[in-house]
Amino acid sequence: MNDKSASGKSVWSMPMALSWVMWRDFDRVSDAKTFGDVWDIDGQDEAAGQILTYSEALERFLNRAADGELPITMVHQGTLELVVPSPEEWAHLSLDYDSDLSERFWFTPRRGIRESAPRYRSATIRRADVLRLWEPRDDGAIEPAENSGKTAEQAPKRRNRRPQDQDRVKPFLDDLWPHGIPDRSTLKDADLIKAVGRAMENKKQIVPSRETLLRAAGRKE
């Protein structure tokens, strides 16, 4: 990667952040210039490493913003002022796309008259906030230290195998499948990950990586 890669940026665009939630892969984040780029990589087969679909990632992303856990800075399209919507405002905030698939946000008032609502564009999110809520994969994905001067290839790889993360997952596995986790012929890895992730999100828990979820379920060494 070069210095312009996603791993070296402290602020990400909305497509970049969504790409991270979907893949946890810095290379794919670097390629996500528009929503169109994100859609192009959505739905590729699970073996390629995709964790969530675009719609699942967007739902979780906006839920975190609505909970006040993910500050998203946007530009007011009329005044050009920088705005960080409050959690209460997110109940009325919808996502729309320009014709070139760049991002644009607007508030939808309760009466449903979109034209009278203030519009926002150029959403940006701090990389540190995204990585805090959606941890790097533990199969070698790299998170370089900010201002380290090192590229992703130069930075040492680290594996985030933390038993405590698996311990956080296990109660959710027990609640979902009190009589034992079905085998893969009945419950695919992707479906298991989605079910556990949704349950943890509902309890305001940070969802660990795909690999950690599978290890907690006894499906990965």
- Lookup: tokens for 15: 């497509």
User: Of 142, 141, 129, 134, whose CA–CA distance to 193 is shortest?
Assistant: 134
pLDDT at 147: 37
Instruction: Give every residue of the chain whose pLDDT is below 50, as ranges.
Output: 1-3, 45, 47, 113, 140-160
The CA-to-CA distance between both ends of the chain, in Å, stands at 29
pLDDT at 177: 95
Domain ranges of the chain: 1-134, 153-221
Q: Where does residue 187 rank: exposed (0-12), middle (13-18), buried (19+ CB within 10 A)?
A: middle
- Lookup: tokens for 50: 């995709």
Question: Among residues of the chain, what percentage have pLDDT more than 90?
Answer: 19
pLDDT at 92: 75
pLDDT at 113: 47
Round the average pLDDT of the chain to a whole number and report it: 75
Question: What are the backbone angles phi and psi of residue 87, rounded to the nearest 5°?
Answer: -55, -35
Question: Cβ distance 193 to 41 under 8 Å?
Answer: no
